[in-house]
Structures are given as structure tokens and as C-alpha cells.
Structure 1
Amino acid sequence: MVVKDGEQPWTQAELDEVLADLHEHRDRLVGIMEEQERDLSLLMRDPGDGAGNDQADVGATNFERDHELTLMSGERGMLEQIDRALSRIGDGTYGVCESCAQPIGKMRVMAFPRATLCLSCKQQAEKRGAR
């Protein structure tokens, strides 16, 4: 795996730590998503407009559904990032910026194992997104 100039090469222990973090985070996300899917399934079965449900009940149910869908979307995105990082470790491209093809930096990757952009490219992407 690549490193920036002046950084020490990756050790097996460091790579094992990153892999363990990614797998642990992935397992936790899968558990959260399974729970969210169960909750959402219950909310979807409740039409929210049956006898005894007033407009406030219907509104609360709809809000809960939207909230669960939003959470699931975010979790799904993180899961995709983790899977992408694991795939990149497997194919030897982990730690290489997807934008400029330069090393991301070992410290950044260790702090944020799902990182796919170096700090400079990430800042540029955030500026473009803010416009």
C-alpha cells in the first residue's frame, strides 16, 4: 500500500487494525440496518389513516417513516463506503486518492478508514458542493 513521502510503510499490524475497524463498523451497520428495516416494515404496515387515527397521528407516522428512510439511506451509503474500502484493500488501490491518484496519507486513512480522497481533493470537493 502506498504512503506519502516521509511516511513509514504500512506494517501488517497497521493494516490488520484498519481491516478490523472496517469489519467491526460494517458488522455494526448491518445490525443497525436490519433493525431499521424491521422498524420500517412495521411503519409501512400501519397505513396511518385507519379508524381512530387523527391528522396528528397520520402526520407522526409519516414523519417516522421519512425519518427511518433517511437514516437507512445514510447507513447504506456508509456501508457502500466500507465495502469499497475493503475492495480497494483487496485490489491494492487502498490509500490512493480517487481524484488525483496521489497517496491519501497513512494518518488520514488510519483516522478515517473509508477515505477515498486525499485531504486536498476532499476540501476541493466540499467547496464545489457548497456552491
Structure 2
Amino acid sequence: GRRAGGRATTGDGGGTHDTAGRGTATGADAAGAAPQTGATTVGAKKTPGTATAAKTAVPKARPAAAEPGDLAVRPGEEPWTPEEVEEARAGLMSEVLRLREEISSSERSLAGLMRDSGDGAGDDQADTGTKNITREHELALAANAREMLTQSEHALQRLDTGTYGLCENCGNPIGKARMQAFPRATLCVECKQKQERRY
């Protein structure tokens, strides 16, 4: 976005541009910055495939994971051991793989249901109703699996950054026992209870 009056504005790419046409590029902007001409800024075109390629690319090497002893625990709990951290990581990784398979299986089922619903000629209302219920059920299962997948991937990132076991609301330790029981937990018991009372 650009504002009149010579004030600096921030473009979509994160660089700042002033209204005289001078620009300072940052991050991804610097690599593909187009030449500056007079009072207009010509931005590099973003190809639609870039975002998808980033998601499907081979995962980069894991950043240096936080030391197991650095992960948060509640007072009175033993620190995380390397074995416990590896067990949590392995459990989350296998959950991610299982959920991805479940999602693609649901998507295949849904594709079949959508194909079949097109030729409903001759179906009575009960058949149509059953097909609709089955489709709604598959959609709900797929949505639930996607949500759990997101939570599992988030937990793995938190393990890598050393924030695993910290409440995302209050910043206090969630507790090792709770994390071992619910590896995807992001809130301490107190914050979780407050959240549930609100709904």
C-alpha cells in the first residue's frame, strides 16, 4: 500500500517504499527486486507455483533441537530426558504419518461419493439421504484429521524450538505428565479449563 505525502509505506513483500520511488528491499524482495523507475515502484511478479512448491518441498534438516533438559516442567517434576523427548517426537511423527494417510483416504472416499451422487437418477429419498449423511460424515472425519495433523506438526515445531511444554496462553509450564498424556497440548490445565468455561 502507498500513502501520499512522502511517508514510507510497507509493500506486501515486507520492504519499505517511499513515495518518491526509492525502495529498500528486504528478505525475498531483495532477490527478485525489479529496477526502480521515477515515481513508481515496479515489484517482481510472484509466480503462483511458488507457495505450493514451498509446502511440498522436502523438509529441510531439523534446526538444532533444544536440549531435553531445557524443556519446561512444573515444579517437582523431573527434567525431560533425551529418551522421553525422542519418545514424544517419535509418537508425534507416527501420528503425522497416520493422519496424512487418513486424510488422503477420506479424500478418495469423498471423491467416490461425489462421483456417485451425480448419477442419482432413480434413487429414492432414503438413498439420497443416506448418501448425504455418508458424505457429511466423511467431511467431518477429514476436517478432524486435518485439525489433528496441524496440532501434531505444531507440537513437532515446538519440540524443535524448545517451547514444547510451555502454555501458549500464560507462558507457564504445562507439565511433563500432561504433555506425555496429551502430546499436542498447547495450554496448561488452568488455561484449558478457562477456555472450556467460555464455550
TM bin (shorter chain): over 0.9
Q: What is the match of residue 155 of structure 2?
A: 85
Deviation at 1:50, TM superposition (A): 2.8
- State yes or no: 1:20 paired with 2:106: no
The residue type equivalent to 1:32 in the other structure is E
With 29-38 and 94-103 compared, the bigger mean Cα shift is at: 29-38
Q: Which residue number corresponds to residue 168 of structure 2?
A: 98
Aligned residue type for 1:95: G
Deviation (angstroms), 1:18: 0.3
Q: Which residue matches 2:145?
A: 75
Q: Does 1:57 align with 2:90?
A: no
Secondary structure of the structure 1 residue equivalent to 2:140: helix
8 Å contact kept, 1:49–1:58: no
Deviation of 1:8 (Å) = 1.1
Q: How far does the alpha carbon of each residue in 1:56-82 deviate from its partner, in whole angstroms, 9 at most, with x for none?
A: 111111111111101111111100100
**Contact residue 48 and residue 57 of structure 1 kept, 8 A:** no
TM-score normalised by L of structure 1:
0.94
Partners of 1:34 and 1:18 lie apart in 2 by 25
Structure ranking higher in helix proportion: 1
Could you say which residue in structure 2 is the equivalent of 1:126?
A: 196
Q: Percent identity?
A: 52
| Aligned partner (choices 59, 84, 109) of residue 179 of structure 2 | 109
SS at match of 2:166: coil
**Greater CA radius of gyration, 1 or 2?**
2
Q: What residue ranges of structure 1 are gaps of 5+ in the alignment?
A: none
Alpha-carbon distance in 2 for matches of 1:50, 1:43: 11
Q: Which has the higher contact order (CA 8 A, sep 6+)?
A: 1
**Residue 136 of structure 2 corresponds to residue 66 of structure 1:** yes
Deviation by residue 1:2-57 (Cα, 9 ceiling, x = unmatched): 11111111110000010011111111111111111110000011225632211111
Gaps of 5+ in 2: 1-70
Instruction: Name the residue aligned to 1:10.
Output: 80
